[in-house]
Amino acid sequence: MATKHVEQILTPPPASMVGDGFWVHNFFPNGYNLESQRMSPFFLLDYNPKMEIPPSDQPRGLGVHPHRGLETVMIVYQGKIVHHDSHGNSAIISAGDIQWMTAGAGILHKEYYDAEYNKEGGLLQMVQLWINLPQKAKMSKPKYQAIRHEELSQYHLPFGGGIIEVIAGNYMGVGGIISTFSPLELYNVKLKKGTCFLLNLPANYNTGILVVEGNVVINDNEIAPADHFVLFKNEGDEIILDIKEDSILLVMSGEPINEPVFASGPIVMNTKEEVTQAFDDVNSGKFGKLD
């Protein structure tokens, strides 16, 4: 075993509003000058840190918009978000739940606060990930999965040290509920103060950890506080996490998709011509309809 060393610990970049409901730090691709495929197959990471949402009678969220060529993943830590799409899917994503949408050939969707939550206000904390699809899967049939917290596969560490929620991939023989189009690992790692945790991930995988809660020492000498993103070098396969206070870590690691990428807004394809065609298809109604 060899150590997978830290390349950078990224502080939250300046926040921006997405729609009128989500106040996010975009760690990549735009928040930092990372090479465009540095975290491939993960294309985008938006993080809405824990914040208090005031009560309102006005609906808030993100209106109808298209996607093609990627998967979108929303992980809700606090709050209650509603999803609707042009294929007739709808769901309420509450604290601990996950939505996984394969846009594939094309879909319209919208996400907004649940009406009761919007009226009463409360805490909001969530992650939005975009996962690039390999060329052969970009025009696959759209699919939507709303995953309740209790449905997630779990690995319990000995002596009450914590729980690994396996969203995708496999941890110690425990497989995630999601099957993916390229090899990747995605875990919610919930660790208790005083735990020393060893994580093994392939050396060639692009790997990052978002510190959602708590404070962690990595490989004995790098300190990563809450709301920071840890980018690892593509070397070694062993990460040692020393947990200084109860912590929640979002671990993402995947085999790079070594294909050209051309993206514009919510469309991620391989060429400019494919992106142009995608917007033409949106305008001609081929993504369906959604009010």
Q: How far apart are CA 264 and CA 268, in angstroms?
A: 7
Q: Which amino acid is at 1?
A: M
pLDDT for res 283? 97
β partners of residue 198: 240
pLDDT tens digits for range 18-35? 999 999 999 999 888 677
pLDDT for res 78? 98
Residue among 155, 210, 152 nearest 13 (CA): 210
Contacts (Cβ under 8 Å, ≥6 apart) of 273: none
Contacts (Cβ under 8 Å, ≥6 apart) of 59: 112, 113, 115, 118
Q: How far apart are CA 83 and CA 102, in angstroms?
A: 14
pLDDT by 10s per residue, the chain, length 291: 799 999 999 999 999 999 999 999 999 998 886 777 899 999 999 999 999 999 999 999 999 999 999 999 999 999 999 999 999 999 999 999 999 999 999 999 999 999 999 999 999 999 999 999 999 999 999 999 999 999 999 999 999 999 999 999 999 999 999 999 999 999 999 999 999 999 999 999 999 999 999 999 999 999 999 999 999 999 999 999 999 999 999 999 999 999 999 999 999 999 999 999 999 999 999 999 999
Q: How far apart are CA 285 and CA 73, in angstroms?
A: 24
Contacts (Cβ under 8 Å, ≥6 apart) of 246: 191, 192, 193, 213, 214
pLDDT for res 199? 96
User: What's the token pair of residue 188?
Assistant: 């919610």
Q: How far apart are CA 246 and CA 212, in angstroms?
A: 11
Q: What is the pTM of this model?
A: 0.97
236 and 256 Cβ atoms separated by less than 8 Å: no
What does DSSP say about strands 267-269 and 90-94: parallel, antiparallel, or unpaired? unpaired
Q: How far apart are CA 253 and CA 259, in angstroms?
A: 18
Residue among 230, 252, 239, 236 nearest 184 (CA): 252
Residue among 127, 110, 133, 146 nearest 287 (CA): 110
Q: How far apart are CA 138 and CA 277, in angstroms?
A: 13
Sign of the CA dihedral running 255, 256, 258, 261: positive
For residue 54, cis peptide bond before it (omega within 30 degrees of 0): no
